[in-house]
Each structure stands twice: as structure tokens, then as C-alpha cells.
């Protein structure tokens, strides 16, 4: 057996605070085990042991100030144990303690040069604690990681200067388990609060109830569903010519048909061919509940936020009837007069931004539906027909689906049918 001294290595600064001592005389410790935690103004660092052994005496306590060379502890190590990897300073012989179980050779034990302590990783962004990084030692961070806790979710610790201790992590887990996922999703790190007034003038505006509820629902979907978005383009040149002609026949005041009505019909025809798109996953994820009715939700932009009125049994209705119903429901939506029943029972949703613009986006599924179709603005494009480029009106489509229910190939095949239906609306008669 040999007795070695462990001293503070070069910590890059004159003096550091001892914020935690993790060993006591008699402890059996492993190599690399943290002996103490030191802290400068900028960082915390763990002081690891370079050898395994039994702690004989500890020379520092919490609150001490130490510097390079300060004796931390003496360690009784096995004589066969490999020497400390690097010798930094000449050894100082120490006497064997009287209580040692066997005669201890007074070792010319080298004061081991400790590996360069790893500073605590400080978040550079305002990722937590109102712009301050979470304050914790690497050992506590490791402990938190092992429990799956994002340490930035713990606002302040009970340690000195708000340092997060192991007990704070344990309490955080206990609290999360008691409260469930109601507060910001349990172990999901919350978005930090930032005081924007430090950057300039600000004003607070209350979110509408619709916006708050939509936000909760979208977050729930985002966290629960593996979403994939597939992009497609349909040639709607012929459909558009028909639509324009149809609207020209209408008397003044009659509801005009927009391209969206054809999209609704094309989508429903594809759903009839692919029943898994007109379905919902059972809550236990074991079964698919197939629906025999075809109700389409339409996302409508209103001054108070997004609402989704549902058009019922669209498979049984004609173009003009659907156009009239959409006009009525979107007007009701904008006036805030939709009843809950108007917004229930949807099978798939369409989110059309085509009246505004865009080339593509990734809509979020309105779960428990399994897919949503996004639409952006159609535009004339040169399309190669094998001999020459011809101008065609191309409509961008984005299908986001729940990958637990829809495979990538199914999504692509489904969209190929939607595209065909839109390019040649005679197919809707089949």
C-alpha cells in the first residue's frame, strides 16, 4: 500500500472557491471519481481522483479558497496500482496514519497532476433562467442526464449562488411525476422567459382563446405524432379553364367556385380508394378505426385565429353545393358564430393558403385525423411535354401524414391519385 497526496492542479486562475467536498476519511473511491467541486467566477469544475483507493484524510472543506498546489486529500492506494499518469510536482512524503490496518510504506507518492478540469458547459444563449445558464457541476449534470432531465428546466438550485444540486434534480423529477405532463410537458424543456424590454420597447397583447387552444392542440400533436410531409404538384390547367367558364355562367350574387372545391372532391375520391386515409388510430395504438363517412375540415383564417369548420358528406354533394356550404361556414367562422357541432366530425383537413401565396409548407395534422393536405398558390410554369415546353398551371400540394398509420409509399400513391383527379376532373365521375 502507498499513501499519495492529491493537490489542486493548475486551474488557470490564482484562487478558486471550494463549493463542494464529496469525500470523507474512510471513503473507498474509484479512479476518476469526483473529490471536490471548485468554482471560479466563470466556471465550475470537478476535481477527479487519479487513482482508486481509500481516503485517509481530507484537508479542504466547503467554502475554502484554494490555489494550485493546495493539498486536497491523502489517499491510500494499492502498491500494485498503477501510478498516477503524470507527475506534476515532487512528492511530499507523508506518514502512515496510526490506524492503518497494515504497515504503510511512506510512499514517495507523486502529487498527481490532475487532468485539466472540465469547466461546466455554460449555455451561451438565453436558454434558461432568464438568460443565465443553469448553474450545476458536471456530476450533477450527468446525474440529470441519466434521469432524462434537462437541467435548464430547473430554474434555481438550493446550493450556493443558486447552484443546482443533486437533490434539486431529484425534487424536480418528483414534482414532474406528481404533476404529470400538465406543466410544459414534464421533462420537455420549457422555452425560457426573456425580458425583451432590455432590447427595446415592447407591448403585451393577450392571445385570443382560439389561439391559445389551437396552440395547445398543435403542441400536443407535434409531440405525439411522427409527422412526414410529402410534396406534389398537379397540373390544373384544364380544371381552371372549366372553373372560369362555370363561374362566368353564374348569375350575379351566386357563390363562385374556387379551386378549393375541386381539391375537396379530388381528395374525397382518393380517400374512397385509400380507406386508411379516412381513419383514426385507436388510443392504444392497436387498431385503425375506418370511417364510412366523408367529412372534410377546412382551415379558415379569422381575426381571432384559425378555426376548422367541417363540411359533411362531401362525397354526396356537388361542386356548387359544396361551394355554397364553404362560403356560409367560412363567413360564420369569421364572425365567430360557428357552433362546436360545426367543427366536429372531420375526417381529413385541408389548409389552403393559395389565396395568399406560397410555394410549399408543412401543415400539422389535425389529430386524431391521420393526414392534412396543404395547398399553396398555383402558378404558370413551363412544362416539358416530350417535344417542347408548354405553359401549364401547376398547383403545389403538401400532404402531412401520421407515419404510424401511413407509409411513405402509401402517401405517394395517395397523392398521385389526388393529382390525377385534379388534372382531369372527369375522373371524379368514375
Q: Catalytic residue numbers?
A: 347, 403, 407
The nearest distance, CB 395 to ligand CAO, in angstroms, is 6
Residue of 215, 209, 158 whose CA lies nearest to 185: 215
- Residue of this chain nearest to ligand CAO (CB atom): 354
Q: Toward ligand CAO, which CB reaches closer, 188 or 244? A: 244
The nearest distance, CB 366 to ligand CAO, in angstroms, is 10
Cα separation, 91 vs 107, in Å, equals 9
Cα separation, 122 vs 152, in Å, equals 10
Written as nine digits, the cell of 267 is: 381528395
Cα separation, 406 vs 146, in Å, equals 34
Helices (H), 287-354: 319-334
The nearest distance, CB 226 to ligand CAO, in angstroms, is 19
Q: Does 169 interact with ligand CAO (rule: CB under 6 A)?
A: no
Q: Toward ligand CAO, which CB reaches closer, 357 or 386? A: 357
Which of 306, 324, 383, 428 is the binder for ligand CAO (CB under 6 A)?
Answer: 306
3-state secondary structure of 393: strand
Stretch that binds ligand CAO, among 56-64, 91-99, 193-201, 351-359 (CB under 6 A): 351-359
Q: Toward ligand CAO, which CB reaches closer, 44 or 239? A: 239
Residue 365 near residue 400, CB atoms below 8 Å: yes
Q: Toward ligand CAO, which CB reaches closer, 160 or 377? A: 377
Stretch that binds ligand CAO, among 26-34, 147-155, 161-169, 373-381 (CB under 6 A): 373-381
Q: Does 375 interact with ligand CAO (rule: CB under 6 A)?
A: yes
Question: By CB under 6 A, what part of segment 246-305 binds ligand CAO?
Answer: 256, 258-260, 298-301
Q: Does 330 interact with ligand CAO (rule: CB under 6 A)?
A: yes
Widest CA span of the chain, in angstroms?
A: 111
Give Cα separations from 360 to 222, 239, 305, 364, 389 (angstroms).
19, 21, 21, 13, 23
Residue of 385, 427, 371, 389 whose CA lies nearest to 232: 371
Q: Does 353 interact with ligand CAO (rule: CB under 6 A)?
A: yes
Cα-trace Rg, the chain: 34
Query: How far, in whole angstroms, is CA 262 from its chain's centroid?
Result: 36
Residue of 96, 85, 375, 108 whose CA lies nearest to 258: 375
* Site mask for ligand CAO (CB under 6 A), range 381-410, x = bound: --------------x---------------
Q: Toward ligand CAO, which CB reaches closer, 19 or 394? A: 394
Binding residues for ligand CAO (CB under 6 A): 256, 258-260, 298-301, 306, 330, 351-355, 363, 375, 377-378, 395
Amino acid at each position: 500500500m502507498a499513501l499519495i497526496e492529491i493537490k489542486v492542479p493548475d486551474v488557470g486562475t490564482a484562487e478558486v472557491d471550494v463549493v463542494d467536498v464529496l469525500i470523507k476519511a474512510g471513503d473507498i473511491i474509484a479512479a476518476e471519481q469526483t473529490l471536490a467541486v471548485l468554482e471560479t467566477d466563470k466556471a465550475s469544475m470537478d476535481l477527479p481522483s487519479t487513482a482508486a483507493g481509500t481516503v485517509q484524510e481530507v484537508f479542504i472543506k466547503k467554502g475554502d479558497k484554494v490555489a494550485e498546489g493546495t493539498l486536497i486529500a491523502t489517499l491510500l492506494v494499492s502498491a500494485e496500482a498503477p501510478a498516477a499518469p503524470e507527475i506534476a510536482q515532487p512528492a511530499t512524503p507523508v506518514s502512515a496514519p496510526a490506524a492503518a490496518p497494515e504497515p504503510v510504506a511512506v510512499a514517495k507518492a507523486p502529487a498527481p497532476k490532475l487532468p485539466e478540469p472540465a469547466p461546466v458547459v455554460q449555455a451561451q444563449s438565453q436558454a434558461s433562467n432568464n438568460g443565465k445558464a443553469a448553474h450545476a457541476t458536471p456530476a450533477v449534470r450527468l446525474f440529470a442526464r441519466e434521469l432524462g432531465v434537462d437541467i435548464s428546466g430547473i430554474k434555481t438550485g438550493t446550493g450556493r449562488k443558486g447552484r443546482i444540486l443533486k437533490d434539486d434534480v431529484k425534487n424536480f423529477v418528483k414534482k414532474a411525476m406528481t404533476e404529470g405532463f400538465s406543466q410544459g410537458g414534464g421533462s420537455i424543456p420549457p422555452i425560457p422567459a426573456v425580458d425583451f424590454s432590455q432590447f427595446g420597447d415592447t407591448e403585451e397583447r393577450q392571445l385570443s382563446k382560439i389561439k391559445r387552444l389551437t396552440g395547445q392542440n398543435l403542441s400536443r400533436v407535434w409531440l405525439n405524432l411522427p409527422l412526414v410531409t410529402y410534396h406534389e404538384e398537379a397540373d390544373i390547367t384544364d380544371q381552371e379553364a372549366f372553373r372560369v367558364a362555370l363561374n362566368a355562367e353564374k348569375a350575379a350574387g351566386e357563390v363562385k367556385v374556387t379551386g378549393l372545391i375541386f381539391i375537396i372532391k379530388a381528395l374525397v375520391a382518393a380517400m374512397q380508394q385509400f380507406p386508411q386515409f379516412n381513419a383514426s388510430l385507436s388510443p392504444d395504438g392497436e387498431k385503425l378505426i375506418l370511417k364510412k363517412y366523408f367529412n372534410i375540415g377546412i382551415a379558415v383564417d379569422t381575426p381571432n385565429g384559425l378555426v376548422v369548420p367541417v363540411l359533411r358528406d362531401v362525397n354526396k354533394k356537388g361542386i356548387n353545393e359544396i361551394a355554397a356550404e364553404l362560403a356560409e361556414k367560412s363567413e360564420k367562422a369569421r364572425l365567430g358564430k360557428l357552433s362546436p357541432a360545426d367543427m366536429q366530425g372531420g375526417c381529413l383537413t385541408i389548409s389552403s393558403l393559395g389565396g395568399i401565396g406560397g410555394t410549399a409548407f408543412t401543415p400539422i395534422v389535425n389529430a386524431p385525423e391521420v393526414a392534412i393536405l396543404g395547398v399553396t398558390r398555383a402558378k404558370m410554369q413551363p412544362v416539358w411535354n416530350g417535344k417542347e415546353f408548354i405553359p401549364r398551371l401547376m398547383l403545389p400540394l403538401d400532404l402531412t401524414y401520421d407515419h404510424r398509420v401511413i407509409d411513405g409509399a402509401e402517401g405517394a400513391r395517395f397523392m398521385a391519385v389526388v393529382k390525377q383527379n385534379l388534372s382531369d376532373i372527369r375522373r371524379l365521375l368514375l
